[in-house]
Structure formats: C-alpha cells, structure tokens
Structure 1
Amino acid sequence: MMNGSMMDGSMMAMMCIMMGLGLLIFVIVVGIVVYVVTRLLMKKSRVEDRPLMILKERYVKGEINDEEYKQKCKLLLDIGLR
C-alpha cells in the first residue's frame, strides 16, 4: 500500500530533479551567450588590428623606412579613432 509519506518523497525528488535540470539549462544558456559574445568581440578586434599588424610586418621586413612607418601608423590610428 502507498501511504502519504511515499508520495511526498517521490514528489520532492521529482521537484529536485526538475530544479536541477532547470539550473543546468540556465548554466548552458549563459555559457553559450558568453562564448558567442567573446567570439564576436575577438573577431572585431582582429579585423581592426589587421592593418596595423601588416604595417608592422612590412616595417620589420624593411619594406618601409622609419618615416613611412610613422606616417602610416599615425594615419591608421587617426582613422581608427573616428
């Protein structure tokens, strides 16, 4: 025979399982949001920094001199600030 205490225990267990699943889903959703936002921000910074990286590579390789490097660097920084 089932008495009232058995039903209360199983209901309590079911409620705990449901709360645990809800918490797990919430943590997964928050993790996905953080991942997507981080990837978007990193992609944006990579795109904006690419011209400066190319300029530095050209300078290091000796393709441009000090004066050209300074002019182009200033130009890129001015464009980026607007």
Structure 2
Amino acid sequence: MYFVNGEVKSPGGFSYQPGLTVRKAVTLAGGFTERAAEKKITVIRGNDASHKEYGVQLDDPVFPDDILTIPEGFW
C-alpha cells in the first residue's frame, strides 16, 4: 500500500505496483484538483523512522508505505 493525501480527486490508500511513479500515483488517485500545487508535492517514506517530509518530482519513484501529500496552491 501507499497513500495519497491532499489536493487529488480521490485521496486514500492504494495497492502498490512495482515501477510506480509520483505521476502515476496521482493519476490513480483521480488526478490533481484545480487547487493543487503540483510542484510542491512531498513524501514521507514508509521506511524512514524519522517521518521526515521530502520534496518529490512527478517522475520520482513511489515505494511501499509512502505517504504522498499534494498541498493546496495559493495564488
């Protein structure tokens, strides 16, 4: 499993697939909402005991137990 939270159309937990990227994970979560800050996506790695958030790009890999957060953009 991995999780997608924030400004996507269908946030929640999803079955992990090998080769998964942030872009595909967002697509499987219904895509971005119109308020999404697409360039400010963060991840908490499931294997990182410190629970530190890292910035990620759309082509970066997703790993099991990752938690992706897509924040709201402010104009």
Determine which structure has greater relative contact order: mean sequence separation of CA pairs < 8 Å that are 6+ residues apart, divided by chain length. 2
Larger strand percent? 2
Computing the radius of gyration from Cα coordinates, the structure with the larger value is 1
TM-score grouping bracket, smaller chain normalisation: under 0.3
Larger helix percent? 1
Which TM-score applies when normalising by structure 1?
0.18
Which TM-score applies when normalising by structure 2?
0.19
